[in-house]
Amino acid sequence: MKKLIYLLLAGTLAFASCSKDDPAPIAVGGITLDKTQLTLKLRQSETLTATVTPEDAADKTVTWESSDPKIATVDDSGKVTTMAVGSATITARAGEKSATCVVRSHRLKSAASRSTRPNLHSSPSRAKP
């Protein structure tokens, strides 16, 4: 009789554990970037940081994309590198959410070009007699 009760109890517990639905995975609620605008010199790099919420989201994978890879590229870790002068938008996506950062690239002024320009703000030197 005890064996029958134990078998019934074990069967009931097994059935109860199988019949419960697993909770639905927690969806991504949002994504933010640490910068929304970035200005870099030509061929300069900087890494953007994405934050996905909530912390316990089931899949916090972030994908990155550049609107114009000829101007700025972005790798899988969010490292942005400027390739040409101009602007591009970097988009980070997690789940169905996205965040953007506008990247502007400008030319690096060389030391040679700065030294050949006349200084219009200084007065000519005068020798004292």
Task: Please give the angle made by the CA atoms of 102, 41 and 31, to the nearest 5 degrees.
Answer: 30
Instruction: Check: CB of residue 81 under 8 Å from CB of residue 43.
Output: yes
pLDDT at 111: 55
pLDDT at 23: 84
Q: What is the pTM of this model?
A: 0.69
* DSSP state at residue 11: H
* Predicted confidence (pLDDT) per residue in 24-56, tens digit: 899 999 999 999 999 999 999 999 999 999 999
* Predicted confidence (pLDDT) per residue in 67-100, tens digit: 999 999 999 999 999 999 999 999 999 999 999 9
